Structure 1
Amino acid sequence: MPDMYADFKEQPGDDPDDVLFNTLYGVRTIQLNRPKKYNALNGSMIRKIIPRLKEYQKSALASIIIIGGAGPKAFCAGGDVSQLAKDIAENGETGQATSKSYFGLEYKLDHLIATYPKPYIAYLDGITMGGGVGLSVHAPIRIATENTNFAMPETGIGFFPDVGGSFFLPRLEGFLGTYLALTSESLKGVQALYAGVATHYIDSSVLSNLTARLAELVFKDYDNLHTRLRIIDRTIEEFNTGLPHNEPPHLAGNLRLAIDYCFHYDTVEQIVSALEKERDSPKSPSQIKEWAKKTLEKLGEKSPTSLKVTLRQMRLGARWNTAEAFNREYHIAAKFMRHPDFVNGVSARLIHKPATKARWEPDTLEGVSNDDVENFFRIDEGEESLDLLTHGLDYDRNPFERDLGLPREEHVEEVVKAKALGRRRIIETMVEAKEGKIGVKEQVEEVLGRRAGIDGEGKVVWKS
């Protein structure tokens, strides 16, 4: 009988201390321990984490899993793509095969997290990018701090937003996911909460106390996963230290309307054209003009191939469930390993010191044909599928988001249309429904300001 965990056995050269595991009553902690490398994820770390997660899954004593990063700067700055690019540059097809194998391991771990049957909590304390996003964003509970710096920077290195980006980015509000995917725009601190990337926000100074408090929780045997997560949710709110002073949602109001308008198109050329109109229109507010100008500059620095593949990924991924998202990304990643933009992009941005301007092939949007893009999504005959570690637990939409995250637009719309209430009472109703959860008031105010109006009787009405 084949050993399904053969890929996860220690290999020569693996660092025995790049991941640290600890036990505190019912809590099991996983600490990424490469602080000098910003906890960049490599194969050695993946080979340690997967068997431990499977072990914790079977253990009746393991109630909660918490993952975090060592050092003050990063949770995890991404996968160790510099080494992959060097391997491809030096070893050609052999390096491409090694890189594909790495991504297969990484996606198996990310999918395991996405379908994990026990409470899994991620502390997004510090830089959280690329591979670090895969380790965190699929968790039902994701805690941002004042140090959080979230981004998916792949289009700038000749790659695409993988690690399940096909699944979670299209499911962010409106077209925020498309905007973040194409531009590599970062979300800092509490902005990760408002955008839906994080489910909670607390100060980093209380994380250790929170871990100790979570270790005190005792669940009943008949408590299902949803019940346990709700108990954890209320426990996290005990450590509410308030929102940062004078820091409302950034991707809000007119800017959010501009993002949804410009990034709803299905071709990059149309998105660029919409941004140019916003930049040049005398009717555009100065804030939007400046945003459009900077966004065009950002897109101009990215790989044209990556931009077009990523936009197509966002549209298709909205229909993929978790298993299909990781499986399709596995094949897309293999195609990128054979494309010159990956090695060129990683070398220019991450290997050369100081960073240089990448040389893209082709270097214009016009040079990337529709067939070039579709080729990334074709599964070649005889190409194997990703052998995922869990089955039967996949979903089309995160089953915990409504209970644990901030209210989404659709939830605000439901309340507005179901109840003829004034603005203040709408906000109070939704804050009460979330038991006073931090950020709800600010989120609902932003949505009402952008999507609702007031009728002659002072009642809130939803704008179609």
Structure 2
Amino acid sequence: MNDVLFRTGGHAARITLNRPRALNSLTHDMVLRIDAKLTEWEHDPAVGTVVITGEGERGLCAGGDIRAIHDDARDGDGRASAAFWRDEYRLNARIAHYPKPYVAVMDGIVMGGGVGVSAHGSVRVVTERSAIAMPETGIGFVPDVGGTHLLARAPGELGTRLALTGARIGAADAILCGLADHYVPSAALGDFVADLAERPVREALARHVRQAPPGVLAGRREWIDSCFAADTVEDIVQRLLDHGGPEAREAAETLLTRSPTAVKVTLAAVRRARGLGALERVLDQEYRVSCACLGSPDLVEGIRAQVVDKDRAPRWSPATLGEVADADVERFFTPLGDRELGLAGDGPLTAPGTAGPGAGR
């Protein structure tokens, strides 16, 4: 079975992630094939729009193939994972600058690498079934695929909260946080995608977009912004506990179950992403961090606990926030020399005058 399907109809080209039993998680081969098709379609005048969807009822994509990363980090030398991330992050940047409308149907579960192939698109559609998250700290990893770029730009400290806790959000909150643009009821997706083959994107959107059901984050902004603005993870946890509200306490308890190293590196990554600006510069930073994670015991342990053995009882090392020193965090940002991703030094990814992020929104 092909893990990713491609077809064209009318003036639209379709990408369908086709690993429904694995929640359409991405493999290296899938990334390379998608990139090759985007190249082909970019230069095909018959293709006016690209649409990405996931096969099955569960979601668009749950992320990358973390079992393969687990095995590579535990038994290999990490080169396969580094090569996967190199091509995946380049694909994420390519999607952000694609010169034709790139419509991501973010129905169901969209996590990790699934965010990377959707939330950088120019038209991002969510439904009442959408469950979007960057849950990496729960497996001893750090949000990547441009996730720290997206979350750093969310209003107030909403992105910090999502990055550190890995909390799932629905349609309205995804739109509020800048991870999506439009709400279309799941029952209308078939007609919406069919319209994209025959009509301009804006016209198809006008026919099917509706008001999203209310979210929850807007009503929690005050305590989220106050608590997650603290300078350290320890102070964030203390502010959450001091707040006294049940949602704040739950957030604190969640943070204390995550990898202490991963949450501290994540906080630093999101804060630094705010000052880096361009997506390419943030992806370069994320590549350094991801490669450093291959040498951290928490990545192997986190995937073991959550995905391999599924005992949900990771033994983090170090085990507490207080044991993670500033120097331990800083080493994740160490330049890689000739192994750098180098996106920020590649120049513009599109020719002058072509559409970039936001085209068609």
TM-score, normalised on structure 2?
Answer: 0.93
For residues 182-240 of structure 1, give each alpha carbon's deviation from its aligned partner in whole angstroms, at most 9, with x where no partner exists: 011111243322333210001112112112212123xxxxxxxxxxxxx6234312113
Give the Cα–Cα distance (whole angstroms) in 1 for the partners of residues 316 and 190 of structure 2: 45
Report the CA distance shift for 1:387/1:259 in structure 2 as closer, same or farther (over 3 A).
closer
Cα contact 1:89–1:343 (8 A) shared by 2: yes
Give the Cα–Cα distance (whole angstroms) in 2 for the partners of residues 140 and 376 of structure 1: 31
Instruction: Mark the runs of 5 or more structure 1 residues left unpaired by the alignment.
Output: 1-15, 218-230, 280-288, 405-464
Whether 1:294 aligns to 2:276 is no
**Amino acid in structure 1 at the alignment position of 2:53:** G
Report the CA distance shift for 1:34/1:390 in structure 2 as closer, same or farther (over 3 A).
farther
Cα contact 1:111–1:388 (8 A) shared by 2: no
Whether 1:267 aligns to 2:221 is no
For residues 309-346 of structure 1, give each alpha carbon's deviation from its aligned partner in whole angstroms, at most 9, with x where no partner exists: 00000111012211111111111111001111000000
For residues 71-103 of structure 1, give each alpha carbon's deviation from its aligned partner in whole angstroms, at most 9, with x where no partner exists: 000100010111210232223x2xx11111111
Report the CA distance shift for 1:69/1:262 in structure 2 as closer, same or farther (over 3 A).
same
For residues 348-367 of structure 1, give each alpha carbon's deviation from its aligned partner in whole angstroms, at most 9, with x where no partner exists: 011113x3311111011111
Whether 1:336 aligns to 2:293 is yes
TM-score, normalised on structure 1?
Answer: 0.73
Give the Cα–Cα distance (whole angstroms) in 2 for the partners of residues 400 and 65 of structure 1: 14
Which residue of the partner structure matches residue 46 of structure 2? 61
Which residue of the partner structure matches residue 240 of structure 1? 209
Residue 384 of structure 1, CA deviation? 3.4
Match of 1:249 among 212, 215, 230: 215
Describe the SS at the equivalent of 2:225. Answer: helix
Give the Cα–Cα distance (whole angstroms) in 2 for the partners of residues 383 and 101 of structure 1: 10
Cα contact 1:145–1:190 (8 A) shared by 2: no
Moved more, 74-83 or 263-272: 263-272
Give the Cα–Cα distance (whole angstroms) in 2 for the partners of residues 378 and 390 of structure 1: 20
Give the Cα–Cα distance (whole angstroms) in 2 for the partners of residues 213 and 381 of structure 1: 48
Which residue of the partner structure matches residue 446 of structure 1? none
Cα contact 2:103–2:123 (8 A) shared by 1: yes
Give the Cα–Cα distance (whole angstroms) in 2 for the partners of residues 390 and 124 of structure 1: 30
Which residue of the partner structure matches residue 84 of structure 2? 102
Give the Cα–Cα distance (whole angstroms) in 2 for the partners of residues 213 and 403 of structure 1: 15
Cα contact 1:148–1:189 (8 A) shared by 2: yes
Which residue of the partner structure matches residue 168 of structure 2? 186
Describe the SS at the equivalent of 1:366. Answer: helix
**Amino acid in structure 2 at the alignment position of 1:44:** D
For residues 108-167 of structure 1, give each alpha carbon's deviation from its aligned partner in whole angstroms, at most 9, with x where no partner exists: 111111111111010001100001000011011100011111011000000000000121
Cα contact 1:330–1:386 (8 A) shared by 2: no
Cα contact 2:98–2:356 (8 A) shared by 1: no
Which residue of the partner structure matches residue 453 of structure 1? none
Report the CA distance shift for 1:390/1:109 in structure 2 as closer, same or farther (over 3 A).
farther
Match of 1:135 among 114, 117, 139: 117
Residue 383 of structure 1, CA deviation? 3.3
Larger RCO (alpha carbons 8 Å, 6+ apart): 2
Report the CA distance shift for 1:175/1:336 in structure 2 as closer, same or farther (over 3 A).
same
Match of 1:377 among 317, 333, 339: 333
Which residue of the partner structure matches residue 133 of structure 2? 151
For residues 244-300 of structure 1, give each alpha carbon's deviation from its aligned partner in whole angstroms, at most 9, with x where no partner exists: 4xxx230123x2110011111221111112112102xxxxxxxxx101111111001
Residue 21 of structure 1, CA deviation? 0.5
Describe the SS at the equivalent of 1:150. Answer: strand
Whether 1:116 aligns to 2:82 is no
Cα contact 1:26–1:215 (8 A) shared by 2: yes
Alignment of structure 1 residues 39-58 onto 2, 5 Å: 39-58=24-43
Match of 2:305 among 348, 359, 384: 348
For residues 170-190 of structure 1, give each alpha carbon's deviation from its aligned partner in whole angstroms, at most 9, with x where no partner exists: 001111110100011111243
Give the Cα–Cα distance (whole angstroms) in 1 for the partners of residues 28 and 212 of structure 2: 37
Describe the SS at the equivalent of 1:376. Answer: helix
Cα contact 1:111–1:322 (8 A) shared by 2: yes
Describe the SS at the equivalent of 2:323. Answer: coil
Give the Cα–Cα distance (whole angstroms) in 2 for the partners of residues 293 and 33 of structure 1: 39
Q: Which structure is larger by alpha-carbon Rg, 1 or 2? A: 1
Which residue of the partner structure matches residue 17 of structure 2? 32
**Alignment identity in percent?**
38
**Amino acid in structure 2 at the alignment position of 1:134:** G
Cα contact 2:6–2:13 (8 A) shared by 1: yes
Cα contact 2:49–2:101 (8 A) shared by 1: yes
Give the Cα–Cα distance (whole angstroms) in 2 for the partners of residues 384 and 268 of structure 1: 28
Instruction: Mark the runs of 5 or more structure 2 residues left unpaired by the alignment.
Output: none
Report the CA distance shift for 1:38/1:388 in structure 2 as closer, same or farther (over 3 A).
farther
